[in-house]
Amino acid sequence: MGNLRGKLLPPALAIVFSMLLCGVALVISGANPFSAFGAMVTQVGKGSTLVDIINSTGIYYIAALAVAIGFQMNLFNIGVEGQYRVAAVVAAVVGGSIALPPGIHTLVIIVVGALAGAAWAAIPAILKVTRGVNEVISTIMMNGLAIGLSAYLIRRDVFGELRGNNIRTPEIPESGWMPGISFGGGGTMFGFLFVAIALGVGYWIMMNRTRFGFELRASGESATAASAGGVNAKKMILVSMLLSGAIAGLIGLPEMLGRDHTFSLNFTAGIGFSGIAIALLGRNHPGGIAFGALLWAFLDKSGLALDNVGVPREIVTIMQGSIVLSVVVAYEVVRRVELAAEQRRVGRELGTVGGAA
Amino acid sequence: MSSSTSVRTDDPPAVVLTGITKRFPGVVANSDVHLTVRRGEVHALCGENGAGKSTLMKILYGMQPPDEGTIEVNGEQVRFRTPSDAIKAGIGMVHQHFMLADNLTVQENVVLGAEALHGIGQKARKRIIELSGRTGLNVDPGVLVEQLGVADRQRVEILKVLYRGAKVIILDEPTAVLVPQEVNELFDTVRGMQAQGYTFLFISHKLDEVRAIADSVTVIRRGTTVGSADPKTVSSRQLAEMMVGSELPSPETRESTVTDTVVLDVKGLKLLTPDGSRPILDDIDLVVRSGEVVGIAGVEGNGQTELVETIMGMRKAGSGTITLQGNDLTKLGTLARREAGIGYIPEDRHRHGLLLTQPLWYNRILGYQTRKPASKGIWLDTDGAKKDTERIVTEFDVRTPGIDVPAAALSGGNQQKLVVGRELSGDPVLLIASHPTRGVDVGAQALIWDEIKRARAAGLAVLLISADLDELIGLSDTIKVMLRGRLVADADPSTVTPEDLGSAMTGAGSTSAAVQETAVVEEGEN
């Protein structure tokens, strides 16, 4: 079916193209591209790499969903990075300082994370709605503030404590952890993955089956048509930004609840930016985003094997970048071709161009 | 009326198009078009909207290559790859929508892109002054274009093509933006230039104008030329039937269905420019009753768009009240106003009416996302929306292979039928129709008129804004004239003529008993 082809063809083309590009880069730098790609593929079967990839996929997936909600109405929430950092530190502090029964404790941490993310996103949202401040600028600045704020919050004279060489928040008691699925030597899969899957399903339902999703998509497609159709633009900006921030607030939790149980200086940064790329790659579609997150995680984790065959690991970054670029171009080309084809088809079926044939 | 003395028949024709065929996605293309334009004549190309006139002219002007067929200019076969090839061959085009930079002077606009001809200094200025006499443009080349009226802007457009050496001038729907008085001035200009040896290709679907100005007429229908006619002997009705291939629709409504029930009551409505310096809408009082069509006449840009958008709640009024069936809407948002029973056909269906890349059934939901059959509570009812879209497609004769095609794939007329169908669903009590038949074909136009008339007979109140004065006079029970943000005059549609309306619209004052002035516009105000 032409529709499905239109959706799958561009990313496939983009991946092939960027592999070629990286192959060329590898040849220029004097390495054998086949052995490099081979090493990456065989790495998947080694040690805990497969589980690492899956865990990482879940985290990226949440990040990309957060970005995608903004993208649906042309809001560029670059602030996911800062939102999840602030949310993680707040959730860790709250989680580590309360005592609740298992389950409820975990739930409270999740809710606190989501609320903190939403609160951090509320600032640029309110600025945009009331003062017209561009969300790109304000969220970038909020990212800078988030780094400072989180560093302040884990100071020893605030909420932090010194453990070895590391400063961190007090450990969350075991009642607040989220159990995972252990594969012994193969690593442990985060239980939070199921939350990620549920978020994806919820996202799909919201976008395709609810009034809110309709209004969001209508605003993104045509702000003027949406306003004539009675969609309140300001309300949509506020709600979608808060929702985006709330989901961003969950990004740090898989690792925190499943492995680290604290917010420390080793906190994984940069996931918010990867989320932007993955949302682009997946065209804001929950299935596409899952695929993009998996690809991203695979490149990240199996890229580690490149050092073993004497290839710089940074080649993976080149590949990620070129995939995103070529996917964006490929989608646009395919979109235009498909629209023209559709118009021709309609014309043919109605016989308006029949006379010209 | 037309002077055929300057038409020379012994020379090779200025332009000959033979067997032009253009296949084009989705809309009517050209198929085997033949057209001969003699030198020094005004040749009219007639056809309904979407018949393929514009495509043909784009081919002649080098904007699109034909798939088949040949173009001859002055007896020589030519191939245009770009408009500049056409300009070199002496063909110039004045587009329907002006392509002028408001913040540049007349001279700068004319010289822009043709700097190589006479430079940009005194030489160019002299040439422009010399040529502006021929177009009837009496302004200094140093004047900013934003200070010119519509008719003068059009003259600047003509000046642009003359400056580039055009001998054959294509006028694409030149009268669409003019009021009747300005049309007459344009025709004087055209006749004057014709006497100086210029050739005109005059594209229009307004038959009276064609008969007034043209020396010969070629009619195009569904992409192909169906015949020529002598404008001096053919009647408008005959021409129209050639264009449509069947009987002509008419906007005329028969008996009045106006009741005493007030549906829309606007009082003292005021809207200021964003910086608050100047009113765009000034103290508007307006009443629309059940079963009544109230038409607003006015030159575009006098506040009609803003009036509609303020009533729809898309703009916030400075003061005044808007009441619908006794309910005060003044503080409500667009959605609540729609839910209260307002249907809205926006003037620009692409910007305000449709989500172009989304399927037809998805467009059915827009504006109705809180109501049956498109939704149930917070959930969309996609099955209900699809079913109701099928109904609209059938009832409103939307020509489409299915309801899953994107709205952008339909022709303008079918898109508009979908919008009209949607806005008449959900039992509105008031329909706001802005230019409901702009840019649609005659078939769709007739259907839209019929639907509005039917809904009016069933008690719908209609606020109609249209630049098509025949449509306005034909459909309306009451006409109000809008000028500089005010309703300045009332006109009686049973007696008023387009010319009377035209002079009231330009503020020239009442020339007829059919137009009653209701407000005085002081010239010193601005």
State the ipTM, two decimals: 0.80
Under a CB-based contact definition with an 8 Å cutoff, are residues B315 and B306 in contact? Answer: yes
pLDDT at B248: 53
Task: Report which of residues B473 and B51 the model is more confident about.
Answer: B473
- Average pLDDT on B349-355 reads 89
CA proximity to B380, closest of A67, A217, A289: A217
| Burial (CB count <10 Å: 0-12, 13-18, 19+), residue A103 | exposed
**Could you tell me which chain A residue has the CA closest to the CA of B345?**
A228
Judged by CB atoms closer than 8 Å, whether chains meet at A210 and B379 is answered as yes
Looking at the predicted structure, is the pLDDT value of residue B25 above 70?
no
Range of weakest confidence among B51-55, B360-364, B442-446: B51-55
Q: In what order do the strands lie in the sheet with B342-345?
A: B342-345, B430-434, B461-465, B293-297, B478-483, B486-491, B515-517
Looking at the predicted structure, is the pLDDT value of residue B196 above 60?
yes
Strands B342-345, B327-328: parallel, antiparallel or unpaired by DSSP? unpaired
Judged by CB atoms closer than 8 Å, whether chains meet at B337 and A230 is answered as yes
- pLDDT, tens digit, for every residue of B326-336? 889 888 889 99
What DSSP string describes B120-166?
SSHHHHHHHHHHHHHHT--S-TTSBGGGS-HHHHHHHHHHHHHHTT-
Range of weakest confidence among A171-185, B107-121, B509-523: B509-523
**Burial letters for B166-202: b for 16+ Cβ neighbours within 10 Å, e otherwise?**
bbbbbbbbbbebbbbebbbebbebbbebbeeebbbbb
Residue A185 CA to residue A181 CA, distance in Å, equals: 12
User: Which residues in chain B touch residue A74, judged by CB atoms under 8 angstroms apart?
Assistant: none
Which residues 398-437 on chain B approach chain A with CB closer than 8 angstroms? 399-401, 405-406, 408-411
Residue A140 CA to residue A133 CA, distance in Å, equals: 12
Residue of A230, A342, A355 with shortest CB distance to B367: A230
- pLDDT, tens digit, for every residue of B119-149? 778 888 888 888 887 777 778 888 888 888 7
Residue A316 CA to residue A322 CA, distance in Å, equals: 10
Looking at the predicted structure, is the pLDDT value of residue B525 above 50?
no
Looking at the predicted structure, is the pLDDT value of residue B302 above 90?
no
Residue B180 CA to residue B165 CA, distance in Å, equals: 29
Q: Which fold has domain B15-244?
A: Rossmann fold (3.40.50)
Residue B337 CA to residue A228 CA, distance in Å, equals: 11
Residue of A224, A231, A352 with shortest CB distance to B28: A352
The 10 Å Cβ neighbour count of residue B478 is: 18
CATH number belonging to the domain at B262-350+427-520, selected among 2.60.40.10, 3.40.50.150, 3.40.50.300, 2.10.10.90: 3.40.50.300
Which residues 87-126 on chain B approach chain A with CB closer than 8 angstroms? none
Residue A301 CA to residue A53 CA, distance in Å, equals: 6
Tell me whether domains B15-244 and B262-350+427-520 share a fold. Answer: yes
Q: Chain A contact for B305, CB < 8 A?
A: no
Residue B55 CA to residue A209 CA, distance in Å, equals: 41
The full set of domain ranges for chain B reads 15-244, 262-350+427-520
- Which residue in A346, A348, A350 has the most chain B C-beta atoms within 10 A of its own C-beta, making it the best mutation to test that interface? A346
* Tokens standing for residue B524: 């010193």
CA proximity to A297, closest of A207, A177, A193: A193
- Average pLDDT on A204-211 reads 92
List, in order, residues 6 or more apart from B157 with CB less than 8 Å away. Answer: B94, B95, B98, B99, B100
The 10 Å Cβ neighbour count of residue A274 is: 23
What DSSP string describes A103-141?
THHHHHHHHHHHHHHHHHHHHHHHHHHHH---HHHHHHH
Give chain A's domains with CATH numbers. 1-31+311-336 (no CATH), 48-307 (1.10.3470.10)
* Tokens standing for residue B248: 């002509």
Judged by CB atoms closer than 8 Å, whether chains meet at B335 and A230 is answered as yes
Under a CB-based contact definition with an 8 Å cutoff, are residues A189 and A181 in contact? Answer: yes
Looking at the predicted structure, is the pLDDT value of residue A353 above 50?
no
CA proximity to B526, closest of B276, B278, B307, B306: B278
Under a CB-based contact definition with an 8 Å cutoff, are residues B324 and B262 in contact? Answer: no
Give the closest-approach CA distance of A239 to chain B in angstroms. Answer: 15
Residue B495 pLDDT grade (very low, low, confident, very high; cuts 50, 70, 90): confident
- pLDDT, tens digit, for every residue of A274-331? 999 999 888 889 999 999 999 999 998 888 888 888 888 888 888 888 888 888 888 8
